[in-house]
Amino acid sequence: MRILVAEDEMKMARAIRRGLENEGYAVETVDTGDDAVFWATEQEFDAILLDVMLPGRDGYAVCRALRAAEVWTPVLMLTARGAVEDRIEGLDAGADDYLVKPFAFGELLARLRALLRRGPAERAPEIVVGDIVIDPAAHTVTRAGVRIELSPREFALLEFIAHRPGVVVRRSEILDHVWDYGYDGFSNVVDVYVGYLRKKLEKPFGSKVIRAVRGVGYVLEPPV
């Protein structure tokens, strides 16, 4: 079982890591909200321990970002606050459970085990466009029943344009949603990734599904 721990207080982070590793968990630690979003969307974890008070994006924002990106990894929020409103905000943001600091490590373990038994909170429904089937929960794509291996970024791009098949999705929207608004890399990254997708999604099947609209963006169209 692999756990992502997002906690900016070094001592606390170290103690949690040590405690979890002693129990046989694999642990990755990050100390900012942005890093938490990055790791949790790029890699597979079985659960996330998420401190509310993090530099940059706080735990609530992290949780909302993950759920918006359809990352359903169970989240246990850690916080020094115990007010009912905070608890509600955490659960509204998509957290699965809530633990108030200071806590006994045994309680953290018990809550974590309960979350792991439950598995991902919600399973997003499959998206079907013609002979393409996208399963956001399992992160799998098939075309005509054939499994297609995509990188996480390629997957996110395909999933995003597949939400509105037949509708042109602007390049700027794709950049915002798939690369996040902080992205300041090269501007033709979308076109490059569409190229990658085409190689995997069109070439082997001999028919096009992604149409470029010059100067605007891309549209996913069911193959005819």
Binding residues (CB under 5 A) for Ca ion: these are 8, 51, 53
Given the complex with Ca ion, which of 66 and 174 has the nearer CB atom? 66
Given the complex with Ca ion, which of 14 and 164 has the nearer CB atom? 14
Rounded distance between C-alpha atoms, residue 114 and residue 195, angstroms: 43
The letter for the amino acid at 150 is L
Residue showing the smallest CB distance to Ca ion in the complex: 53
Given the complex with Ca ion, which of 68 and 80 has the nearer CB atom? 80
Given the complex with Ca ion, which of 89 and 154 has the nearer CB atom? 89
* Minimum CB–partner distance for residue 15 and Ca ion (Å): 13
* Minimum CB–partner distance for residue 180 and Ca ion (Å): 22
| Whether 76 contacts 110, CB under 8 Å | no
* Minimum CB–partner distance for residue 158 and Ca ion (Å): 36
Chain CA centroid to CA 210, Å: 24
The letter for the amino acid at 68 is A
| Residues with Cβ within 8 Å of residue 198, at least 6 apart in sequence | 208, 210
Chain CA centroid to CA 127, Å: 17
User: Does the N-terminal peptide bond of residue 102 adopt cis geometry, omega within 30 degrees of 0?
Assistant: yes
Rounded distance between C-alpha atoms, residue 85 and residue 91, angstroms: 10
* Minimum CB–partner distance for residue 1 and Ca ion (Å): 24
* Minimum CB–partner distance for residue 197 and Ca ion (Å): 39
Both tokens assigned to 38: 């990055």
Given the complex with Ca ion, which of 10 and 146 has the nearer CB atom? 10
- Give Cα separations from 35 to 6, 39, 75, 130, 213 (angstroms): 8, 6, 15, 36, 34
Given the complex with Ca ion, which of 55 and 119 has the nearer CB atom? 55
* Minimum CB–partner distance for residue 121 and Ca ion (Å): 23
